[in-house]
A and B are shown apart, each in its own frame.
Chain A
Amino acid sequence: ELKVEQNPLFLSMQEGKNYTIYCNYSTTSDRLYWYRQDPGKSLESLFVLLSNGAVKQEGRLMASLDTKARLSTLHITAAVHDLSATYFCAATQRAGGTSYGKLTFGQGTILTVHP
């Protein structure tokens, strides 16, 4: 059974600082997703990581995937208040043929960026 664990679960950052959120998963998965959720809102797709060594960047966020270590990271550079949200990683396994089925989510990391 695929399990996904994130750490830290709570992250309080000062504006301008850098930090990394870690996402470990328990069994083979070669699709890793990062989502953002604002309070009372739904999930917004940030990154889809498809292969070992994949790195994607959007603004102050950079995500990477190491399938051998079963680890993905979400790095935050020079944090700003607008990045305050809950961040989820999710892994999936092939459901049959070329389709992928359910996402298994981590617990979420609540990020608060303060002045």
Chain B
Amino acid sequence: GAGVSQSPSNKVTEKGKDVELRCDPISGHTALYWYRQSLGQGLEFLIYFQGNSAPDKSGLPSDRFSAERTGGSVSTLTIQRTQQEDSAVYLCASSAPGSNQPQHFGDGTRLSIL
């Protein structure tokens, strides 16, 4: 079956612009996670959804970052007034119900802020 789908795969934008990143999890996966990967910081957790609610937003680096999930499926990560330090690969993962399941990752969105 289809894996986790993210779009766009690449995004180049100017500093100060807003961006939206989209994640389509694997069908039936109730948990959805956003991470980002950068050279300096490694893999960092951003936010976790269980269904449509976000019990853990502790990784969002500032109030410029927000995310939502609708219908227990698609999620959108929004970064407002982008800064150069926001440049990274943003990875989405989903996992099936049950505590023994791994998180399955999408291919990511490579975000470059000029």
Additional 17 contacts, C-beta under 8 A, given A42-B107, A94-B99, A103-B43: A35-B105, A41-B107, A43-B105, A44-B105, A45-B102, A45-B103, A48-B100, A50-B100, A95-B50, A96-B55, A98-B99, A101-B48, A101-B55, A103-B35, A103-B103, A105-B42, A107-B42
Interface residues of A (CB under 8 A from B): 31, 33, 35, 41-45, 48, 50, 88, 90, 94-96, 98-105, 107-108
In the bound assembly, the distance between CA atoms of A48 and B42 in angstroms comes to 21
* Residue pair A102, B33 in contact (C-beta under 8 Å): yes
Q: Is the interface of B mostly helix, strand, loop or mixed?
A: strand
Q: What residues make up the interface of B, taking CB atoms closer than 8 Å to A?
A: 31, 33, 35, 42-43, 45, 48, 50, 55-56, 58-59, 91, 93, 98-108
Name the CB-closest residue of B to A44: B105
How far is the CB of B15 from the nearest CB of chain A, in Å? 25
**Given A42-B91, A107-B42, A108-B42: A102 in contact with B105 (beta carbons within 8 A):** no
Q: For B30, give the chain A residue with the smallest CB separation.
A: A99
Q: From DSSP, what is the main secondary structure of chain A's interface residues?
A: strand
Contact A42-B108, Cβ < 8 Å, known A88-B43, A101-B48:
yes
Question: Is B99 touching A102 in the complex (CB atoms < 8 A)?
Answer: no
- Contacting pair A33 B55 (CB below 8 A): no
Q: How far is the CA of A3 from the CA of B103 in the complex (A)?
A: 19
Bound: A35/B42 CA distance, A: 14
Q: A residues within 8 A CB of B91?
A: 42-43
Q: A96 to chain B: which residues have CB within 8 Å?
A: 55
Chain A residues in 8 Å Cβ range of B56: 95, 101-102
- Distance in angstroms between the alpha carbons of A50 and B99 in the assembled complex: 9
Complex CA gap A108/B43 in Å reads 9
Residues of A within 8 A of B58 (CB): 102
